Amino acid sequence: MPSRSVAISTCPYQPDTAARLRLGTVRTAFALGSRLLPKRTLNRAARLFVTPYASSRRRAQAAQPDACMQRCQVTIQGERIATYRWGDPSREPYVLMAHGWSSFGLRFLPWVPYLRALGYAVLTFDQPGHGLSTGNYCTLPDFVDVTNELGHRFGTADVAIGHSLGAAALALAQDKAWQARKLILLAPAEDMVAATDRFFRQVHLGAHLRAPFFDWHEGYTGISPQDLQVHRHLPALGQPGLIVHDLDDNDVPWAEGERYARHWHQSRLLTTRGLGHHRIVDAPEVIQASLAFLRGERVGERVVGSSHLSLVV
């Protein structure tokens, strides 16, 4: 096991036939092990919890960026972090883009021409254990620390854009030395307690292991899942933000994005329908709405409740 903290996987499997068979095997083993070998089963579940899917590396290797991209590596917390740049973030206003769990930095390629046309340099990267970065495990605190360290190296970002767990990391990173002037959060994970419960249901861990798992988490990391609930940190955010979340998101419920908007007083919520958790990353209507937000146009709704939210259809 790694010597750092635990990640919360907010994205359930999107399996093909072989993956469904593997998931079925995992569920059977965890259901039986929860009763017969609870301590061993809990340790196996913890390892699964912090291990990004292998597809992250395959998809990063298959990505085809344009010739203007500069690929570099920086060392953060002992891991070689793959970075991808367009323009010079140390000299130009820049956008930092943070991917989600088991994704990769070049997932944001469709955004790059539009952001460059607005005059921004663009910087994205692969988290530890993801894409072309080194490492086998990754955690939510790792997401936060790497994001903060990389941003700090280039100074204040004009804009930071994140998806899912990467969006949560961006929000939490604002508590530290690095800041972004504007934030765009796509399908942001908010409630790490609820995410843990989804993981338990997904892999059929026995409910009686929930309290021991939370105890293990706090003992192992020094951080309780409750302290990683992002709404506890949101009232301190002073910069404007746009949250985009889909009503049909089966991985991170729309209600978590709505909670961001309620607790973050400078933000607005744009609700989409039919994109789910993954297509929202590069849907043309989401990119265009985000660009409008960056141009200073009014996008989405200021949320004090949940009714009458604008839709992108």
Spell out the domain ranges in the chain. 17-50+193-221, 62-190+229-312
Average pLDDT (86-105) is: 97
Count CB neighbours of 67 within 10 A: 4
- Residue 11: the pLDDT is 42
Considering the entire predicted model, what is its pTM? 0.88
Determine phi and psi for 209, rounding to 5 degrees. Answer: -90, -5
Does the pLDDT value for residue 271 go beyond 70? yes
CB 267 within 8 A of CB 241: yes
Instruction: Look at strands 79-86 and 121-125 and give their pairing.
Output: antiparallel
Q: Is 297 helix (H, G, I), strand (E, B) or coil?
A: coil
Span 146-197, pLDDT tens digits: 999 999 999 999 999 999 999 999 999 997 678 999 999 999 999 888 888 8
DSSP 301: B
Torsion of CA 264, 164, 288, 68, to 10 degrees: 120
Report whether pLDDT(4) > 80.
no
Write out 229-240 in H/E/C secondary structure.
Answer: CHHHCHHHCCCC
Q: Which residue has the tokens 């899917």?
A: 53
Residue 141 has pLDDT above 50, yes or no: yes
Residue 169 is predicted with a pLDDT of 95
CATH number of 62-190+229-312: 3.40.50.1820
What are the tokens at 144? 């936060």
**Residue ranges in the chain assigned as alpha helix (H):** 17-36, 38-49, 55-62, 112-117, 140-154, 165-173, 192-203, 210-221, 254-263, 284-294
Closest of 256, 122, 138 to residue 198, by C-alpha: 256
pLDDT in tens, 25-48: 888 888 898 899 999 999 899 888
For the segment 288-310, the average pLDDT, to the nearest whole number, is 82
> Is the C-alpha dihedral spanning 84, 89, 92, 94 positive or negative?
positive
Question: C-alpha angle with apex 79: 139 to 14, nearest 5 degrees?
Answer: 45
Is residue 75 predicted with pLDDT exceeding 90?
yes
Q: Are 8 and 140 in contact (CB under 8 A)?
A: yes
